[in-house]
Amino acid sequence: MTNRVLLLFILAAGCISVSSFVRETPVPKKKKVINTIVIDPGHGGSDAGAMGQYSTEKEICLAVSLKLGALIRNEFPDLNILFTRETDTYPELHDRAKFANENKGDLYLCVHVNAAGGRRKAELIGYKTVTYYTGKGASRKKRTKRVPQYRYTNLPSEAKGTETYIWGAHRSEDKELAIIENAPMLREENFEKNYGNIDVNSPEFIAISLLKTKQYFKRSATLAGFIQDEFVKVGRVDRDVRQRGIGIWVLQATAMPSVLVETGFISNPDEEQYLNSNEGQEELSACIVRALKNYIAWLEQRQNGTGQEPPAQGYSSNLSFLQQVAAAEKHRHP
Ligand SMILES: [Zn+2]
């Protein structure tokens, strides 16, 4: 009897120690696919960016970025979130990129606001008689004609929606916008020293950019696709993922996947209101966070060695975009 109790006791003790051993054995931890995210609110300080009827791009960029940072912290407490600016200052673009690189960012998120020129509407208000002459010397004749008179009114732009940019060296149609975005960079001191004598159209520059781009291209394009997909889900007008061949210096100067989100059009009164509203800013931030979740899941999937690309669902705009890029590349390098 006593022996049996003792045996039971030993067995029970053994079970407890085994179970506690099992409980204490550390579960092999997955390596984190992302540690540091750098959020870059566009413009700031003396550079207001695009102007709306009552607000500026720099204010909206900062407000959305801070909300976005707080949301990411909430969802991913382990992530290190850094800002290139948290107040109304203008860190030079060179310093923003340097800051991101020195802090070994795994992702660079630029937040911007778009603008489009307004339309000019012509309205016929009457006719005016004007005098003109034909012929020379004796055959010179005085004539008159009626000329329509118009009144022109500037109507605000109707362009709206969001688009997400990634760095690419294939496209040049966006040159105009890129020049606008990079204009503040040209005003910085030591431009030549910081950026070198870059001829962004030179084959060397394009080759270097292509090499660098390829390294991070896929990740940037994937995240950008996820971001646009989330915007579509909440009913934003989808202006798709775009590549910027020229300009957006920070996108190619950051040694990490990087995207630039044009959150909406400040030049459109409805959008200006949306961009300035708390609901609008929270909706935009939430979309980016959901896209980030998908992106992290996609990276983990790749890390697990399944070698599987993310499902085509929710990835479609991005896929067609990649196909376009592949075609463009083939065209460039036959
Ligand atoms: Zn901007």
Report the run of H or E that residue 95 belongs to, with start and end: helix 93-102
Nearest CA to 164 out of 257, 219, 243, 105 is that of 243
* Cα 294 versus chain centre, distance: 16
44 alpha carbon to ligand 1 midpoint, in Å? 10
Let me know: does 79 contact 294? Beta carbons within 8 Å. Answer: no
Domain 36-115+157-332 fold is Aminopeptidase (3.40.630)
Q: How far is the CA of 67 from the centre of ligand 1 (A)?
A: 18
Cα(111) to centroid of ligand 1, in Å? 8
CA of residue 86 to ligand 1 center, whole Å:
16
State in Å: Cα 114 to ligand 1 middle: 6
- Tell me the Ramachandran region of residue 198: left when phi exceeds 0, alpha when psi lies from -120 to 50, beta otherwise: beta
Tell me which residues have their CB within 5 A of the ion that is ligand 1: 42, 49, 112
Distance of alpha carbon 126 from alpha carbon 318, whole angstroms: 52
C-alpha of residue 59 to centroid of ligand 1, in Å:
11
**What's the gap in Å between 41 CA and the centre of ligand 1?**
9
The angle at the Cα of 115, spanning 114 to 121, to the nearest 5 degrees, equals 150
Residue 15, number of CB atoms within 10 A of its CB: 10
With CA atoms as reference, report the closest residue to 297 among 315, 284, 283.
315
CB 109 within 8 A of CB 288: yes
- Note down pLDDT in tens along the chain; length 334 residues: 455 655 555 555 544 444 444 555 555 566 789 999 999 999 999 999 999 999 999 999 999 999 999 999 999 999 999 999 999 999 998 899 889 888 989 999 999 999 988 777 888 899 999 999 988 888 899 999 999 998 888 777 788 898 888 876 454 334 344 445 555 555 555 656 665 666 656 665 555 555 555 657 788 889 999 999 999 999 888 887 877 655 567 777 777 888 999 999 999 999 999 999 999 999 999 999 999 999 999 999 987 775 444 443 333 333 333 444 444 433 333 3
Element (H, E) at 41: strand 36-41
Instruction: Indicate yes or no: pTM above 0.85.
Output: no
Q: What is the spatial distance between Cα 320 and Cα 3, in angstroms, rounded to a whole number?
A: 75
Q: How far is the CA of 165 from the centre of ligand 1 (A)?
A: 12
Segments of the chain assigned to CATH 3.40.630.40? 36-115+157-332
How many Å apart are CA 264 and CA 262, to the nearest integer?
6
In angstroms, what is the span from residue 261 Cα to ligand 1's centroid?
A: 9
Alpha-carbon gap, residue 94 to 324, rounded angstroms: 31
